[in-house]
């Protein structure tokens, strides 16, 4: 059915381009089959595109970092801002053309540039009082796009960054009180988009870790993830909940 919807949307767009049907008729046909324009996709193709943009983002950040000392400070700042802004503007342009998947891919890449900019600009001005803050603002910068686009890919990207921030915080003895904010955003996407087992398990794992750590702080009055006997009850409860959702 997913493949059928993808092919049907492509055919309908060609019918409109050839003036065989009007745009209003095309929208009615799409609505009949529950197709949102620009959101049909092939999982394997989407995965390959996502990996491609991931490696592009990492390679650009590595290239800039390797030549960081040889670049003038003004060029560093302007280059990072232009790179991040231009990638997001291209994503907005694609979204305006109803190419939702292409816009999400651009935002996915742009989020890497945004994170690299946060870290590298902090390095320029020696802003390192609390290192996990950089990862936190990186994840927080992804959140509005996640909510607005209902993108599972961007939600998973945000949750991975939130998990990294979670571990950095607790290793320094701080309590990650705002992790539920990211959980709520990801849960909103899960409800508004198609069912995604990967996103669901990501949210479930994050929620479990956060609750277990919260209980560690409450029971042991410490800043580390200490496993107490009471955690077994919570863990069993999570397994029961997971089994219920699986049914």
What's residue 79's pLDDT?
77
Asked if residue 154 lies in contact with residue 190, where contact means CB atoms within 8 angstroms, the answer is no
Report the alpha-carbon distance of residue 210 to residue 55 in Å, rounded: 30
The pLDDT score that the predictor gives to residue 104 is 86
Nearest-Å Rg of the Cα atoms of the chain is 22
Q: What is the pTM of this model?
A: 0.69
Tokens of 33: 């089959």
pLDDT score of 180: 92
On whether the CB atoms of residues 209 and 217 are closer than 8 A, the answer is no
State the DSSP H helix or E strand holding residue 16, giving kind and residue range, or none if neither: helix 2-17
CB proximity list for 130: less than 8 A, separation 6 or greater: 172
Roughly what angle, to the nearest 10 degrees, separates helices 197-220 and 179-192? Answer: 160
Phi and psi angles of residue 79, each rounded to the nearest 5 degrees, phi first? -65, -45
Q: Are 5 and 35 within 8 A, CB to CB?
A: yes
Report the greatest alpha carbon distance in the chain.
70
pLDDT, position 225: 61
Give, for all 247 residues of the chain, the pLDDT tens digit.
767 777 888 888 888 888 888 888 888 888 888 777 765 556 666 677 777 877 877 787 777 767 766 777 777 777 778 888 888 898 888 888 877 878 888 898 888 888 877 877 766 555 567 778 888 988 998 999 999 988 888 999 999 999 999 988 888 888 888 899 999 999 999 888 877 788 888 888 888 888 888 877 777 655 556 666 777 887 888 888 888 877 8
Closest alpha carbon to 111 in 77, 173, 41, 159: 159
Cα angle 185, 95, 23; round to 5: 120
Tell me which H or E stretch contains 77: helix 73-96
């Amino acid at each position: 059915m997913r493949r059928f919807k993808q092919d049907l949307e492509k055919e309908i767009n060609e019918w409109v381009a050839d003036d065989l049907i009007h745009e209003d008729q095309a929208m009615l046909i799409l609505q009949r089959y529950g197709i949102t324009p620009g959101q049909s996709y092939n999982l394997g193709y989407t995965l390959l595109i996502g990996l491609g943009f991931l490696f592009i983002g990492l390679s650009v950040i590595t290239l800039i970092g390797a030549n960081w000392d040889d670049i003038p400070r003004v060029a560093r700042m302007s280059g990072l801002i232009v790179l991040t802004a231009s990638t997001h503007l291209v994503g907005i342009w694609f979204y305006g053309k109803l190419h939702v998947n292409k816009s999400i891919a651009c935002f996915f890449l742009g989020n890497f540039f945004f994170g690299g900019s946060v870290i590298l600009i902090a390095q320029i001005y020696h802003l390192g009082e609390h290192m996990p803050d950089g990862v936190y603002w990186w994840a927080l910068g992804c959140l509005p796009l996640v909510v607005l686009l209902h993108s599972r890919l961007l939600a998973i990207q945000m949750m991975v960054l939130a998990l990294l921030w979670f571990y950095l915080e607790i290793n320094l003895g701080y309590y990650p009180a705002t992790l539920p904010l990211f959980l709520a955003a990801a849960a909103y996407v899960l409800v508004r988009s198609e069912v995604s087992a990967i996103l669901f398990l990501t949210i479930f794992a994050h929620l479990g870790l956060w609750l277990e750590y919260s209980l560690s702080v409450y029971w042991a009055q410490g800043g580390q993830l200490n496993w107490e006997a009471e955690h077994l009850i919570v863990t069993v409860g999570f397994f029961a909940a997971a089994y219920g959702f699986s049914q």
